[in-house]
């Protein structure tokens, strides 16, 4: 049964979400990526503050709630006014870290650090004219960010992988602005993700920080995609924000399609449109056509590059532009292993996605949290289909309302950022979560939310598979969530956590749902350069054997529609402590942390090159 969320609860949740935002937090700007901006990236001073000296007084009361002008608070960025004043911190004398960038990979002493670090930067800014506003935009900060400009708190953001913005027009000065960010990556039971993950908890300001100048009335949001049921209809809306909302003329141009359309906004600043278009070069992995679009209003203008494609399921098939497609995928973390750090810029995205292409992929599963926007923009250009995911991973605090709201906020923010990207075809709401009543409610609510925000894409979650007591070789999905998702995705580790590689030959899969079946993970660990017979754990031969046997088994699954084995590169994980083999790395990569390809890489590459 599909869980229906009572309307009154929706209202309560919605109103409490709203009150948790400060005044200076406008709705998230769509397509900040293409807006002219002043980057604040660079070297920022930092103070490691495990006891949160800069945040709490000795009674453990937060300065910004009790005593916001206390110069002891680090966000005041104070300097002694005279030789007698006692100020026990000094950003100017403190060391620096690069922004964007995680802190763990920049300083040896911070490799394992989890806690609070304060960041500070100073900048000058030419005052905006009266008819413009200034947004301060963060690509992401892991995990909580409390942001202060010139001593005033702008707000707090929770969740390590999605963007947020503040309006700083009234606080920004011509000279010597002090921007201070308290970043805390302490793992929390009630967090999303929770305490336990199989990846490195990279802390810091991990993506771009920028100042975006926008007119007082500006294009805050827009959606421009094919109508879900008609691939000759481009459908969408433009949403303005600011002081002039009603009856504003919105002009939409797509030159290459000879489209030039004018519509007026309603009193809420919203204009909707539908454009019938007979000929469109549909976006696909074989031909990733992107159209240049421009939206003009009396005060504002944005440009974007948008591809048009349809994505549906029909029985066990996934249809891209009405044609059946097999997803030749690979899973990826947002990490550059050679640097032992988070990936962030355009070059990093290029490296990761080019490697996926070289393997023969048309699809990437971006695990286990939203990756940076360069990945998605580049996937659009390279013609890679994308699965995006939020970090609802393993054992979330299912009964905690704040945990749910946090997960929903992360989902909302990633959809808000990427809803116009042709490459993104699947929103995944969870990975390997245990079936129980409160989890089912939690995930069904997230699924409803995703469908409400974006009816045009497919919804999935990486589920778990089960055997039968009387026949362990017969496997299925026994999870009520299977009824809610569009794609029946699951992780399985036959040959690694589940028997030896030859077990795959005995397994029979049986599914009752008439939905596309997708294997979101399988794999095995191998240390690059370690060679032995195929039954020796950690050898490249063992990993190759697991891949060969699994691929044969997968071929026999009726209606299988794709796979994204685990994983392209070895990745950092504090759970992986086997000396001499793991040394802090999850070794399931097809490519080692030094960039060397293992034997199993070639097994999968050959399979993909032959697969139609
Ligand atoms: C899984 C998880 C993934 C782990 C992987 C492993 O099922 O989804 O995050 O890293 O197994 O290596 O055990």
Q: Is the pLDDT of residue 16 over 70?
A: no
Average pLDDT over residues 278-295: 98
In this prediction, residue 142 carries a pLDDT of: 98
Using alpha carbons, list the distances in angstroms from residue 17 to 3, 13, 21, 166, 401: 21, 6, 7, 16, 11
Q: How many angstroms separate the CA atoms of 475 and 487, rounded?
A: 17
| 301-321 pLDDT per residue, tens | 999 999 999 999 999 999 999
Average pLDDT over residues 271-284: 97
Q: Do domains 218-298 and 313-610 have the same CATH topology?
A: no
Ligand 1 pocket by Cβ (under 6 Å): 198, 368, 431-432, 491, 521, 566, 586, 588
CA 388 to ligand 1 centroid distance, Å: 16
In this structure, the residue with its CA closest to atom 3 of ligand 1 is 198
| CA nearest neighbour of 38 among 121, 185, 137 | 137
DSSP code for 24: T
- The pLDDT mean for the chain works out to 95
CA 379 to ligand 1 centroid distance, Å: 24
pTM of the model: 0.95
Are the C-beta atoms of 144 and 183 separated by less than 8 Å?
Answer: yes
Using alpha carbons, list the distances in angstroms from residue 603 to 355, 541, 548, 550, 599: 15, 11, 7, 11, 7
| CA nearest neighbour of 292 among 301, 279, 305, 281 | 305
Q: Is 262 helix (H, G, I), strand (E, B) or coil?
A: strand
Confidence of residue 127 (pLDDT cuts 50, 70, 90): confident
In this prediction, residue 8 carries a pLDDT of: 37
In this prediction, residue 380 carries a pLDDT of: 98
Using alpha carbons, list the distances in angstroms from residue 392 to 304, 404, 545, 593, 596: 31, 10, 31, 26, 31
DSSP code for 153: E
In this prediction, residue 21 carries a pLDDT of: 40
Confidence of residue 22 (pLDDT cuts 50, 70, 90): very low
Q: How many angstroms separate the CA atoms of 4 and 448, rounded?
A: 8
In this structure, the residue with its CA closest to atom 7 of ligand 1 is 491
- Residues of the chain with pLDDT > 90: what percent? 94
In this prediction, residue 13 carries a pLDDT of: 39
Average pLDDT over residues 11-29: 55
CA 574 to ligand 1 centroid distance, Å: 13
Confidence of residue 17 (pLDDT cuts 50, 70, 90): very low
Topology of domain 313-610, per CATH? TIM Barrel (3.20.20)
Q: Is the pLDDT of residue 4 over 50?
A: no
The backbone region for 480, taken as left when phi is positive above 0, alpha when psi lies in -120 to 50, beta otherwise, is alpha
CA 199 to ligand 1 centroid distance, Å: 9
In this prediction, residue 128 carries a pLDDT of: 81
Q: Is the pLDDT of residue 20 over 70?
A: no
Second CATH level (architecture) for the domain 21-214: Sandwich (2.60)
Which atom of ligand 1 is least distant from the CA of 462?
Answer: 8
Q: Which of 3-12, 258-267, 398-407, 554-563 has the lowest mean pLDDT?
A: 3-12
Q: Is 489 helix (H, G, I), strand (E, B) or coil?
A: strand
CA 83 to ligand 1 centroid distance, Å: 56
In this structure, the residue with its CA closest to atom 10 of ligand 1 is 198
Handedness of CA 57, 63, 67, 68 (dihedral sign): positive
Q: Is the pLDDT of residue 181 over 90?
A: yes
Are the C-beta atoms of 408 and 370 separated by less than 8 Å?
Answer: no
Structure tokens at 599: 């034997």
In this prediction, residue 457 carries a pLDDT of: 98
CA 552 to ligand 1 centroid distance, Å: 22
Q: Is the pLDDT of residue 31 over 50?
A: yes
Sheet holding 42-48, edge to edge: 96-99, 42-48, 116-123, 177-184, 144-149, 152-158
| CA nearest neighbour of 157 among 255, 348, 64, 25 | 25
Tell me which of 199, 430, 432 to substitute to probe ligand 1's pocket, judged by most ligand atoms within 8 Å of the beta carbon.
432
Are the C-beta atoms of 72 and 412 separated by less than 8 Å?
Answer: no
In this prediction, residue 15 carries a pLDDT of: 35
Count the alpha carbons within 13 Å of 502 in the hemisphere toward its beta carbon. 2
CA 391 to ligand 1 centroid distance, Å: 13
Confidence of residue 14 (pLDDT cuts 50, 70, 90): very low
- Residues of the chain with pLDDT > 70: what percent? 96
In this structure, the residue with its CA closest to atom 4 of ligand 1 is 198
DSSP code for 56: B
Tell me which of 462, 586, 589, 600 to substitute to probe ligand 1's pocket, judged by most ligand atoms within 8 Å of the beta carbon.
586
Q: How many angstroms separate the CA atoms of 26 and 16, rounded?
A: 16
Which atom of ligand 1 is least distant from the CA of 368?
Answer: 9
In this prediction, residue 130 carries a pLDDT of: 86
| 454-482 pLDDT per residue, tens | 999 999 999 999 999 999 899 999 999 99
CATH number corresponding to 218-298: 2.60.40
415 backbone dihedrals φ, ψ, rounded to 5°: -65, -40
Are the C-beta atoms of 102 and 204 separated by less than 8 Å?
Answer: yes
| 418-430 pLDDT per residue, tens | 999 999 999 999 9
Domain regions of the chain by residue span: 21-214, 218-298, 313-610
Q: Is the pLDDT of residue 582 over 50?
A: yes
Q: Is the pLDDT of residue 9 over 60?
A: no
């Amino acid at each position: 049964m599909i869980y229906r969320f009572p309307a009154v609860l929706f209202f309560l949740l919605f109103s409490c979400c709203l009150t948790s935002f400060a005044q200076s937090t406008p709705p998230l700007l769509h397509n900040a990526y293409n807006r002219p901006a002043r980057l604040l990236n660079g070297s920022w001073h930092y103070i490691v503050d495990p006891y949160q000296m800069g945040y709490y007084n000795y009674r453990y009361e937060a300065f910004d709630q009790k005593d916001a002008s206390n110069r002891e608070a680090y966000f005041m960025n104070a300097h002694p006014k005279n030789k007698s004043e006692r100020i026990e911190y000094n950003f100017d004398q403190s060391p620096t870290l690069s922004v964007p960038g995680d802190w763990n990979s920049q300083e040896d002493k911070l490799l394992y650090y989890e806690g609070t670090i304060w960041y500070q930067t100073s900048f000058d800014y030419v005052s905006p004219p009266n008819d413009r506003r200034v947004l301060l935009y963060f690509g992401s900060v892991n995990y909580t960010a409390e942001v202060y400009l010139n001593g005033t708190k702008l707000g707090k953001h929770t969740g390590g992988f999605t963007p947020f913005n503040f309006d700083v027009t009234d606080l920004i000065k011509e000279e010597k602005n002090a921007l201070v960010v308290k970043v805390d990556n302490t793992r929390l039971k009630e967090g999303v993700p929770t305490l336990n993950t199989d990846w490195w908890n990279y802390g810091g300001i991990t993506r771009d920080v920028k100042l975006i100048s926008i007119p007082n009335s500006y294009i805050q949001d827009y959606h421009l995609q094919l109508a879900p049921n008609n691939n000759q209809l481009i459908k969408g809306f433009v949403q303005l924000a600011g002081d002039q909302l009603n009856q504003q003329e919105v002009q939409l141009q797509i030159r290459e399609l000879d489209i030039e359309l004018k519509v007026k906004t309603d009193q809420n600043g919203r204009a909707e449109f539908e454009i019938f278009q007979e000929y469109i070069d549909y976006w696909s992995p074989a031909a990733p056509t992107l159209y240049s679009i421009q939206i003009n209003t009396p005060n504002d203008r944005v440009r974007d590059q948008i591809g048009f494609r349809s994505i549906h399921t029909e029985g066990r098939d996934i249809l891209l532009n009405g044609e059946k497609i097999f997803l030749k995928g690979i899973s990826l973390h947002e990490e550059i292993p050679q640097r032992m750090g988070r990936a962030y810029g355009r070059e990093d995205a290029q490296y990761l996605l080019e490697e996926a292409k070289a393997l023969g992929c048309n699809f990437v599963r971006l695990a286990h949290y939203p990756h940076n926007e360069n990945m998605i923009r580049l996937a659009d250009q390279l013609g890679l289909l994308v699965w995006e995911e939020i970090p609802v991973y393993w054992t979330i605090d299912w009964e905690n309302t704040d945990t749910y709201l946090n997960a929903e906020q992360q989902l909302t923010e990633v959809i808000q950022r990427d809803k116009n990207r042709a490459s993104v075809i699947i929103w995944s709401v969870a990975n390997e979560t245990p079936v129980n009543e409160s989890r089912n409610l939690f995930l069904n609510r997230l699924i409803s939310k995703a469908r409400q925000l974006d009816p045009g894409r497919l919804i999935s979650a990486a589920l778990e598979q089960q055997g039968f007591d009387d026949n362990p070789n017969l496997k299925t999905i026994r999870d009520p969530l299977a009824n809610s998702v569009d794609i029946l995705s699951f992780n399985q580790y036959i040959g690694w956590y589940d028997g030896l590689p030859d077990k795959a030959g005995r397994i029979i899969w049986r599914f009752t749902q008439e939905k596309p079946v997708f294997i979101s993970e399988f794999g095995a660990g191998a240390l690059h350069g370690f060679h032995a017979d195929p039954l020796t754990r950690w050898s490249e031969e063992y990993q190759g054997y697991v891949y060969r046997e699994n691929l044969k088994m997968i071929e026999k699954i009726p209606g299988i529609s794709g796979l994204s084995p685990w994983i392209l590169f070895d990745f950092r994980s504090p759970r992986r402590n086997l000396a001499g083999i793991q040394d802090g790395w999850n070794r399931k990569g097809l490519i080692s942390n030094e960039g060397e390809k293992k034997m199993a890489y070639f097994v999968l590459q050959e399979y993909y090159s032959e697969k139609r």
